[in-house]
Structure 1
Amino acid sequence: MAFPFFGDSKSTIAQLLATLPQQGKLEWIGLRPARRAELLAVPEAEVLTDSRLAGDHASPKSGGKRQLTLVQHEHLAAVAGFLGLDGPVAPGRLRRNLVVSGLNLLALKGRQVQIGESVVLDITGECHPCSRMEEELGPGGYNAMRGHGGLTAHIAQGGTIRVGDAVRVLPTPTEIAKA
């Protein structure tokens, strides 16, 4: 079945899913210095290839799919709304490493993104909420986060990231071949 796309009646769902022309922005970076510790907001961080953020307590296995977690900036207000809070939830309370605005993160599953000049992440899947959300956000925290938990990523290429860096979707090999 074809769907119209910029006047092209022969476009397919696959083409629509691959069309991500927007560029996002890195809004926040958080490090967990120890297990269950409060996340520390930092203006920049070193991203270690196939590992983690330098200074973060997590020590995932090489090749792991959850070396880094991302959450949608726009969802901070939605989660707060579900909890009846005034204003958005502070990013550190969601226990994710990176907060990104301007891109629909769920559209990035299975894609690669570049943050800043050199960091490349393989977006590996959804980051579902855990029972810690009840502790952190209060009663209903778990359900408020359902559908808003963000994504997990494998670090394909490390480097330094900074708050304000651009977040760009990288073309797939098929998209490169067609160009």
Structure 2
Amino acid sequence: MPFPFFGDDKSTVARLLSTLPQTGRLEWIGLRPARREPLVSVAEATVATDRNLVGDHARVKAGGKRQITLLQHEYLAAVASFMGFADPVDPGRLRRNLVVSGVNLLALKNRRIAIGDEVVLDITGECHPCSRMEEELGPGGYNAMRGHGGLTARIVQGGIIRVGDTIRALPSED
């Protein structure tokens, strides 16, 4: 007997997963000018199709699943709380390219999203923390970031993005 909430088949779960009427907002853009250098916060950036953010040192290959990284803005306060900090963590310390608010980022996993009027991303997976978080945040930084590391994406269509741009899930193609 199926669980009563889900009905007789998995179509209800698929429908629930595809329902995401909320839109988000791009809160922050960060570029890494060189390996292990601090991220530089910018108001806008050029996104190169199937590559990366122009000006970001990351060496990515065409078709790669980690061309750009995203982080949930609401996680900045959560990570700070786990670390005992009074103020939210500066997004540059967490080494992700984009910080978004207003939409559950994890709900976008395996979805296609639009940022602003031009850029389209395929959300490809989770972006787990690395040991560098111990350097950035102090002892316990790695564990504070677990479950809060954000997502990775492949750039389907490039263009210009700006802080304040709307982020929305695109309709599924199936």
TM-score class normalised by the smaller sequence: over 0.9
Partner AA of 1:33 in structure 2 = P
1:6-155 paired onto structure 2 within 5 Å: 12-155=12-155
Q: Distance in 2 between matches of 1:120 and 1:73?
A: 20
- SS across alignment from 1:135: helix
Q: Distance in 1 between matches of 2:35 and 2:62?
A: 19
Deviation per residue, 1:19-48 (Å, 9 max, x gap): 100000000000000000000000000000
Q: Distance in 2 between matches of 1:61 and 1:127?
A: 17
* TM-score, scaled relative to structure 1: 0.92
Q: Distance in 1 between matches of 2:86 and 2:150?
A: 22
Question: 1:59: Cα distance to partner?
Answer: 1.6
- SS across alignment from 1:17: helix
**Would you say how many aligned residue pairs link Structure 1 and Structure 2?**
170
- SS across alignment from 1:114: strand
| Further displaced range: 140-149 or 100-109 | 100-109
Q: Distance in 2 between matches of 1:37 and 1:139?
A: 20
Q: Distance in 1 between matches of 2:11 and 2:77?
A: 34
Q: Distance in 2 between matches of 1:112 and 1:101?
A: 17
Corresponding position of 1:169: 169
Q: Is the 8 A contact 1:3 1:11 kept in 2?
A: no
Q: Is the 8 A contact 1:112 1:122 kept in 2?
A: yes
Structure 1 segments (4+ residues) deviating >4 Å: none
Question: 1:3: Cα distance to partner?
Answer: 2.9
Q: Distance in 2 between matches of 1:16 and 1:48?
A: 32
Q: Distance in 1 between matches of 2:170 and 2:34?
A: 33
Give 5+ residue unaligned stretches, structure 1: 5-9, 175-179
Q: Is the 8 A contact 1:31 1:55 kept in 2?
A: yes
Give 5+ residue unaligned stretches, structure 2: none
Q: Distance in 2 between matches of 1:30 and 1:87?
A: 19
- SS across alignment from 1:86: coil
Q: Does 1:3 align with 2:5?
A: yes
Partner AA of 1:3 in structure 2 = F
What is the alpha-carbon root mean square deviation over aligned residues?
1.5
Q: Distance in 1 between matches of 2:11 and 2:86?
A: 43
Deviation per residue, 1:124-161 (Å, 9 max, x gap): 00000000000000000000000000000000000000
- SS across alignment from 2:45: strand
Q: Distance in 2 between matches of 1:157 and 1:89?
A: 30
Identical-residue share of aligned pairs (%): 73
